[in-house]
Amino acid sequence: MPERKLELIFKNQLGRTNKIVLDNPRGDLTEAEVRDAMQTIIDKNVFRTSSGEFVDIDSALIVTTDTEVLIS
């Protein structure tokens, strides 16, 4: 069964990227909803990394993987 993850990628104060991965995102997410949520994370300064605060949105991806068990 395919597994879906939502990857939210932010730029921090040093220009590096940081990724937040969320399991099982809703199937009907829109770009606007994701962009608004990411901007809220930035505006409220929810996360701080060793490279500083999140300052900009880099990208967002839905990644789907399918795992095949060969030996169980």
Q: 66 in helix, strand or coil?
A: coil
One-letter amino acid at 62 equals I
Judge residue 58's burial from the number of C-beta atoms within 10 Å of its C-beta, 0-12 exposed, 13-18 middle, 19 or more buried: middle
The kind and range of the H/E element at 38 are helix 31-43
pTM of the predicted model as reported, rounded to 2 decimal places: 0.88
CA count, 13 A, side-chain hemisphere, 69: 3
The kind and range of the H/E element at 26 are none
- In order along its 72 residues, the chain shows pLDDT tens digits of 689 999 999 999 999 999 999 999 999 999 999 999 999 999 999 988 888 999 999 999 999 999 889 998
